[in-house]
Amino acid sequence: MAAPRKFDQETRDRAVRMYSDRLERYGESKREARRQVGAVLDVNEASIRNWVEAGERAAGTRPGVSRPADSEEVRALKRRVAELERANEILKTASAFFGSGGARPPTQVMVAYISAYPDRFGVEPICAVLSEHGMKIAPSTYYDHLARPVSQAVLDEACAVNAVVDVHRANWSVYGVRKMWHALRHAGHQVGRDQVGRLMGIAGIHGAVRGRHHTTTTRRDQTAVRHPDLVKRGWTVPVRPDQLWVADFSYVWTLAGFCYVSLVTDVYSRRILGWRVAANRHTALVTAALQQALYIRRRDDIRFTTTGLVHHSDAGSQYTSLAFTQELIDAGIAGSIGTVGDALDNALMESTIGLLKTEAINARDRTWTSRAEVEWEVARWIHWYNTTRLHSSIGYTPPIEYEQRYRDRTTAGPARESA
């Protein structure tokens, strides 16, 4: 049997689509766009370049490069762009020191930040940008504080607040006190849980709160033959990866109309294996996510087999369709379907969809303009969810790390016995 292709066609098309979107939307260089997309999809930059060039050859197009006239107006625009880029860099670096909410940061913290970047940005430009964004500080105030001695206690607290804000923002600003405490310990900071709560209060940051609104996207086909319920809410049963997968999809409203996000998750590790964002909820929405999950497993381990694997979903018409049923049969996966309208029958997937909505889609009351914009955010969130996010149900461990621990245990066992 030939080795499987490293990336399925859906992943290739998604990478090219997201690359083109970043060029158009953010005006990034081709290399930077490839780097950004490659980071969230775990794809090498060279692969993305090859896929893009292959698509251009197939379409018979090669984009040209135009250079604007070097007029005075152009030079003025370049200077303005440079100023805006510098202001943006100042705000990005300041995010490690200042949270997104709460009162003005302590002056000592602001002085410590300015002292870290005087050569890169200059004291006056930093003060001007911070003051423009509600954190007023004059250059004279900065120099006055430099002349004063700072107590070690004040300095230690300022550094602790900075560390808390840094970890909070690195985790999509969604962690509350409990997960922040675990995240800080993972990052090597020896702090108590009550201390974390106090520092978060100083920084004015807090965890995300899930909404209570629920919209049913499942539409049951009364005439379709259904798989039996092989799970019966047995979410604690799996003792290894690829024993039980669960799937579902939900909607996202954009200015261009609704789009839909489907997910496939491994119950043992909570890892999202397959996903798809589409402009409609046809059967292809869910089959593409299943196909990607299979490609991911075969790419990671050529010994992967679907023997004993169960795929559980709700009774939506997409999952009871003949096309999707045939996909399961061809892959050798046992289908399982719960009850219509009963969230508990697919509780883990409902929880994962809820996290996606709370932590990425509905965060900061953002309005989405297009499906492409949603796809990029979903890609970023899933990468963080699988590689970094702490899950209390698996011992505050990221899913990929949890799977690796399982593989380490199962491969090390026979070696110790033979020794």
Q: How far apart are CA 306 and CA 288, in angstroms?
A: 17
Could you tell me the CA-to-CA distances from 45 to 34, 50, 264 in Å, in that order? 5, 9, 26
Token pair of 388, please? 């970094």
Residue with the two structure tokens 């409203």: 253
Q: Which regions in the chain score pLDDT beneath 70?
A: 1-5, 61-71, 96-103, 150, 211-226, 233-236, 339-345, 412-419
Token pair of 273, please? 């294996």
Q: Are 318 and 247 in contact (CB under 8 A)?
A: no
Q: How far apart are CA 18 and CA 28, in angstroms?
A: 12
What one-letter code names the amino acid at 250? Answer: S
Return the pLDDT at 418. Answer: 41
Q: Are 306 and 333 in contact (CB under 8 A)?
A: yes
Q: Are 251 and 235 in contact (CB under 8 A)?
A: no
Residue with the two structure tokens 């794809």: 43
Of 267, 273, 303, 302, the residue nearest 391 (C-alpha): 267
Q: Are 95 and 113 in contact (CB under 8 A)?
A: no
Sorted by where each begins, the domain ranges of the chain are 9-59, 72-147, 152-203, 244-410
Return the pLDDT at 98. Answer: 67
Q: How far apart are CA 85 and CA 70, in angstroms?
A: 20
Q: How far apart are CA 197 and CA 301, in angstroms?
A: 42
Alpha-carbon torsion angle 285, 291, 297, 301, nearest 10: -160
User: Which residues partner with 313 through β-bridges?
Assistant: 337
Token pair of 208, please? 């995300």
Q: Are 10 and 288 in contact (CB under 8 A)?
A: yes
Return the pLDDT at 206. Answer: 87
Q: Are 275 and 296 in contact (CB under 8 A)?
A: no
Return the pLDDT at 102. Answer: 55
- Topology (CATH level 3) of domain 244-410: Nucleotidyltransferase; domain 5 (3.30.420)
Mapping DSSP onto H, E and C, the string for the chain reads CCCCCCCCHHHHHHHHHHHHHHHHHHCCCHHHHHHHHHHHHCCCHHHHHHHHHHHHHHHCCCCCCCCCCCCHHHHHHHHHHHHHHHHHHHHHHHCCCCCCCCCCCCHHHHHHHHHHCHHHHCHHHHHHHHHHCCCCCCHHHHHHHHHCCCCHHHHHHHHHHHHHHHHHHHCCCCCCHHHHHHHHHHCCCCCCHHHHHHHHHHHCCCCCCCCCCCCCCCCECCCCCCCCCCCCCCCCCCCCCCCEEEEEEEEEEECCEEEEEEEEEECCCCCEEEEEEECCCCHHHHHHHHHHHHHHHHHHCCCCCCCCCEEEECCEHHHHCHHHHHHHHHHCCEEEECCCCCHHHHHHHHHHHHHHHHHHHCHHHCCECCHHHHHHHHHHHHHHHHHCCCEHHHCCECHHHHHHHHHHHHHHHHHHHHC
> In terms of DSSP bridges, do strands 334-337 and 310-313 run parallel, antiparallel, or are they unpaired?
parallel
End-to-end Cα spacing for the chain: 34
Return the pLDDT at 251. Answer: 95
